[in-house]
């Protein structure tokens, strides 16, 4: 992935190559790395519900954060992309998560992070979970 990024920066690779490399990376992680993580010895450190907020489909950053959490003995429930505030709330209730991770790459989507926080508050869950915004959430009060 580092080499793909370097080639993109030099103008040797373009968006289709980035997307293809990302999909290949995800496939390899799911097939070879993640199964080994689920059998790691040691106690679980917590459960994280993670997703990309509604209106955004970028997931590379979210996937990397999820991987780092798993490597460090967190159980991760990945909700995927374009997740509504209600989707986050339902997942927090269902899995009794300790942490909620919200990813949003686009600055136009930052208000969706606020909507997730408000939905957690309306459901009396805001103080029960740690909120973990990812990727450029300046100005969003958690």
pLDDT in tens, 67-85: 888 888 899 999 999 999 9
Kindly report, residue by residue over 81-105, the tens digit of the pLDDT: 999 999 999 999 999 999 999 998 8
3-state SS of the chain is CHHHHHHHHCCCCCHHHHHHHHHHHHHHHHHHHHHHHCCCCCCCCEEEEEEEECCCCCCHHHHHHHHHHHHCCEEEEECCCCECHHHHHHHHHHHCCCEEEEECCCHHHHHHHHHHHHHHHHCCCHHHCEEEEECCCCCCCC
Please report the pLDDT score of residue 31 as a whole number: 85
User: Which domains, ranges and CATH numbers included, belong to the chain?
Assistant: 1-39 (no CATH), 44-142 (3.40.50.280)
pTM assigned to the model: 0.72
């Amino acid at each position: 992935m580092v080499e793909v990024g370097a080639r993109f920066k030099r103008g040797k690779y373009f968006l289709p190559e980035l997307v293809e490399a990302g999909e290949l990376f995800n496939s390899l992680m799911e097939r070879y790395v993640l199964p080994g993580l689920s059998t790691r010895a040691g106690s679980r450190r917590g459960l994280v519900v993670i997703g990309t907020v509604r209106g955004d489909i970028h997931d590379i950053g979210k996937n990397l954060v999820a991987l780092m959490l798993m490597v460090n003995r967190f159980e991760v429930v990945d909700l995927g992309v374009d997740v509504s505030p209600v989707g986050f709330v339902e997942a927090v209730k269902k899995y009794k998560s300790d942490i909620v991770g919200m990813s949003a790459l686009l600055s136009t989507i930052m208000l969706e992070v606020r909507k997730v926080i408000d939905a957690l508050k309306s459901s009396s869950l805001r103080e029960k979970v740690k909120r973990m915004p990812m990727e450029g959430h300046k100005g969003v009060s958690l």
